[in-house]
Structure 1
Amino acid sequence: MKTLKKFAAAAALTALGAAPGLAQDEPIKIGALYNATGGMSSLDGPSLKGAQLAAKKVNENGGVLGRQIELLAPDTRTDQQETAKAAQRVLSEGVVAGIGQSDTTFVMAAAPLFQEASIPFVTSGATHPELPQWVGNYMFMAPFGDDDQSYAIADYAVDEMDAKTAVVWTDQSMDFTKALSKFFKERFIERGGEVVAEDSFMIGDTDFSAQIARLKSTDPAPDIIFVSAIPTEAGLTVKQIREAGLELPIVSGDGFDTDLVADTPGPDLANDVWFSTHTYRGDDRPEVGQFIADYNDEYGMDPENAFAPLGYDALMLVVDAIERAGSAEPDAIRDELEKTRDFKAVTGTISYTRDTMVPPKPISIISVMGGEFNVESIWRP
């Protein structure tokens, strides 16, 4: 009878994946939720590639806790419903953590489901500074907050471009774009600037002629225009503003950190564009050089933008937490993520020292001239 009981207990443990040695042989599953297609793909595609590169590097070096990393990466298709379905799918498949998304709207379609399941989620690129408060204590950010990046580009516009007046265009369909404009206006006005007019559009809009007509009629003409947009509309607004013969500087945040800003208008029109983004381009830290070399070896090209190393950083934050915890249990990972200090990420050192749980990170100011991207300045919070 005792033998039968022992056998039954062992069988139950095996069914739960807890038999001695069994769990340690299984891969550690991590969800990677990215919009590989659709309007966010020029940011999320590189992020996913960065995360996949990180997983490959970890696995080639023996894995973490002696186990391999397995990324579950369904395409969320730049669609909130698809994002929620993908989150539910990977949670049902036993992930111990999730990473992903470059926009707050899509994080909010996924991260609350991870919070409800008590599974940590690290966004690689969404930057709304209230995300950790909105979602809960299982939510973490690899990037800076929109307040910091908006302040950075506002300071640059005032200090380096001598801008005193601005028109602000905002995509009203996205939490990210609305927050970016809010914080830009706050800082620009605080620094003595004046917002002389505002206008709006929605994701998917392709004709900006009405907004351009109103911009042209603004009298006196503003010193700059701040355009808060995600990649597709970023490229289109630059193209159409320049085609209309307007030459005033266009400024923005990291939604403009996409090749579409140069490719959509073409090099003849992609001029006098300035945006704040994650510190990466032109950075001589060893972590950056190694990442660029590894990315080139893996994909035969340089990283497309700062969202590639952000995907890498998000996964490595999770791996670092697993290593420090000595466990792949979600609660243990969450606890160690919260304790993260001085983590040497590709996009800058990450420490969760603020009450908001948004890491204070340096911010690059990038110019686009003749379709070429160049680092002009580094802003520090």
Structure 2
Amino acid sequence: MNPFSVFKTALATTALAGALTGTVLAGPALAEDPIKIGALYNVTGGMSSLDGPSLKGAELAAKQVNEAGGVLGREIELIAIDTRTDQQETAKAAQRALSEGVVAGIGQSDTTFVMAAAPLFQEEGVPFVTSGATHPELPQWVGDYFFMTPFGDDDQSYAIADYVVDTLDAKTAVVWTDQSMDFTKALSTFFIERLKARGGTVLAEDSFMMGDTDFSAQIARLKAVDPAPDVVFVSAIPTEAGLSVKQIREAGLTLPVVSGDGFDTDLVATTPGPELANDVYFSTHTYRGDDRPEVTAFIEAYKDEYGIEPENAFAPLGYDALMLVVEAIKRAGVAEPDAIRDELAKTMGHKGVTGEISYTRDSMVPPKPISVISVQGGEFNVETIWRP
């Protein structure tokens, strides 16, 4: 598959104004051209179970906007490119999207891949809104043309650490970290920080890498910890999340497995199977079990469009990311990158499917409620909502 294949979600496209003696006509004719927005997602590879639903959420938002008459009388056209869970492909995709004349970009559910794309948008003065990457320092690393749809890793790590202490009544943990990803390393750092602040103890730390399929060495070391820990915190992205749960349970270990939103994937249930997918707890974006009108409307629209329930919280995050850009264009009154950036920065009280989004912090990370989900018998259930 060509990684630069462009999937256009506009219901119709308007031809560019004709050329006269080799010059493209300017003026009213160009006002009818679609507004191009880049959508960079890993729809293949290890991140596909998060990014695939995110792209579908964004495509649904674009379709709804276009059916309602578009924005400023123009349709939204998503320039969607598969970045293949590969940093080099992500950088190439960002360059391709920018060359297509996008006025903004959205995408990516992981910090490592955002950092391969968003700085290129920053250099060109084109805003980029991540739908799912959660490192709280991203806005500072990238710059003032970068915006976050989700909460930060510090908040989600604090949420699951508080649940471990307050609800699971756990005081000790072993921490496993995928050392190949910025997201997973940050998640573990903040979890350890919060657990210690709450009086807990980390008995041991271990590591693995994205793509690992055999966790027997880590499991042997986990079994050797004495006294045995109350929980094991596994900081992983989806593929390794499912595999680690499966192998921990197959080894006869029954202690709770806890994590962050990298576990918000069906792989946590399907890879181990319902008999082994038990006593798993993770923090993630508020969506499951929420009866806000934004949530119920999104679920119905998603089911109508795709014939299935939204796979996870990353589907509404993709929807929210595109709608943040759309609302900024509406307020700006023009589809120009600088004006869109200025209006994005002013976002206050945006009623997203995944919660209200306001850029009130100096860090530009929106404070959002966080769900703690349990997995028992392969079934996902909301246990509590944590608020920053």
Query: Normalising to structure 1: TM-score of the pair?
Result: 0.96
Give runs of aligned pairs for residues 258-273 of structure 1, distance below 5 A: 258-273=265-280
CA shift in 2, pair 1:292/1:214, >3 Å: same
Q: 1: CA distance between counterparts of 2:322 and 2:23?
A: 26
Residues 238 and 267 of structure 2 are in contact (CA less than 8 Å); yes or no, is this contact kept in structure 1? Answer: yes
2-side partners of 1:36 and 1:224: how far apart? 32
Choose which of 220, 238, 245 in structure 2 pairs with 1:238.
Answer: 245
Alpha-carbon distance in structure 2 between the residues aligned to 1:11 and 1:43 = 41
1:170 and 2:172 are equivalent in the alignment = no
Secondary structure at 1:73 match in 2: strand
1:34 and 2:37 correspond: no
Q: Which residue pairs with 1:95 in the alignment?
A: 102
Structure 1 distance, partners of 2:223, 2:41, is 38
For the pair 1:124 / 2:167, whether they are aligned, the reply is no
Contact 1:119 1:331 in 2 (8 A): yes
1:211 has 2:218 as partner: yes
Partners of 2:321 and 2:192 in 1: how far apart? 30
Secondary structure of 2:180's match?
coil
Contact between 2:154 and 2:190, CA under 8 Å: does it hold in 1? yes
| Conserved 8 A contact 1:98-1:119 | yes
Cα distance in 1 for residues equivalent to 2:363 and 2:168: 31
Q: Larger C-alpha radius of gyration, 1 or 2?
A: 1
Structure 1 match to 2:298: 291
Question: Separation in 2 of the partners of 1:18 and 1:94?
Answer: 17
- Equivalent residue letter for 2:167: E
Deviations 1:117-167 (A, max 9, x none): 000000000000000000000000000000000000000000000011000
RMSD of aligned Cα (Å): 1.4
Structure 2 residue 357 is matched with structure 1 residue 364: no
The residue that corresponds to 2:93 in the other structure is 86
Deviation at 1:15, TM superposition (A): 7.5
Where does residue 382 of structure 2 map in the other structure? Answer: 375
Alignment size in residue pairs: 372
Distance of 1:345 and 1:31 partners within structure 2: 20
State the partner residue of 2:236.
229
Q: Is the 8 A contact 1:132 1:356 kept in 2?
A: yes
8 Å Cα contact 1:29/1:97 also seen in 2 = yes
SS, match of residue 240 in structure 1 = helix
For residue 271 of structure 1, what is the amino acid of its counterpart?
N
What's the offset of the Cα at 1:12?
9.6
Contact 2:18 2:25 in 1 (8 A): no
SS of 1:74 mapped into structure 2? strand
Which residue matches 2:8? Answer: none
Query: 1:78–1:154: structure 2 CA closer, same or farther, 3 Å change rule?
Result: same
Specify the alignment match of 1:309 in structure 2. Answer: 316
Q: Aligned residue for 1:336?
A: 343
TM-score (norm 2): 0.94
Q: Over residues 2-57 of structure 1, what are the superposed CA-to-partner deviations in whole Å (9 max), with x where a residue is unaligned? A: xxxxxxxx999997867221221100000000000000000000000000000000
Alpha-carbon separation, structure 2, partners of 1:71 and 1:14? 31
Does residue 45 (structure 1) correspond to residue 74 (structure 2)? The answer is: no
Residue number among 42, 51, 68 corresponding to 1:61 in the alignment: 68
2:260 to 248, 253, 257: 253
Structure 1 residues not aligned, in runs of 5+: 1-9
The SS at the match of 2:82 is coil
Q: Deviations over 1:279-299 (max 9, x none)?
A: 000001000000000000000
What CA distance in whole angstroms lies between the structure 1 residues aligned with 2:22 and 2:119?
29
What is the percentage of aligned positions where both structures have the same residue? 82
What is residue 320 of structure 1 aligned with on the other side?
Answer: 327
Which residue of the partner structure matches residue 109 of structure 1? 116
Q: Return closer, same or farther for 1:301/1:294 CA change in 2, 3 Å cut-off.
A: same
Indicate the SS of the match to 1:105: helix
Give distance in 2, aligned partners of 1:16 and 1:158. 67
Q: 1 CA distance for matches of 2:25 and 2:384? A: 52
Q: Equivalents in 2 of 1:201, 1:77: separation in Å?
A: 21
